[in-house]
Amino acid sequence: MNAAPDLTEIERLEHADAPELLKWALAEFGHSLAIATAFQAEGMVILDIASRLARDVRVFTLDTGRLPEETYRMMETVRERYGIAVETVAPDAAEVEAMVRLHGPNLFYRDVPLRNLCCEVRKVRPLERKLRELRAWVTGLRRDQHDSRSEVRKVEAINGKVKLSPLADWSGERLREYIERHDVPMHPLYAAGYSSIGCTPCTRPVQQGEDERAGRWWWEQDAAKECGIHFTPEGKAERKLDVLLSEILEAQRR
């Protein structure tokens, strides 16, 4: 097993373009590399680039149990267009049951820590389980999506795993140009005014002039528009999340 890239290699790869970075990652990690996607534009572009470089690309998605029907249709689109069977990663059923029993099915509307708890159970913890079988994973983060992503690096070593964001330095215009040039399949909800797509109750279309991620958790004020799989909550929200999570882990053992 190869070791994670050293600092010199990471710095070199930071300046690589997306196809070069993906080509390196596919050669370096092979079947221990997977693309994580919710079938938004960035993830589909990465998938399209990777499919031109290798025939056996692994792709997975977090099936939270609250996804829109259009997202499931995208899984079939990927199978038909690229011949890739998407690996689905579900939350632990006992944890979801305990969370809903303690806080109700729509707890995320009440306050930020409860929303973070729902994301933790349905997305963060399932992702952590999936990463145990991988050495590296690929995300569609771009620096210009939101202030919280402005410092995203293309290559990061995290807890012994390598996280790759090949489109970190891409603009929205460059993304659209690639999609049009290669006729990349797009999630149907973009045509309905969505610019960022997540779970059904937590995502809405955006209005003209709004931030790209304004449709995510739109009822929250001054909270980071992140679910925790890329950036963890900070301060009081994180401490409350720890308490809430410990409560449901205890409840699901009863």
CA 72 distance to own-chain centroid: 16
From 119, 199, 202, 227, active-site residue: 227
What's phi and psi for 163, nearest 5 deg? Answer: -105, 125
- Is there a catalytic annotation at residue 227? yes
Look up residue 67 and give its amino acid: L
Catalytic residue list: 227
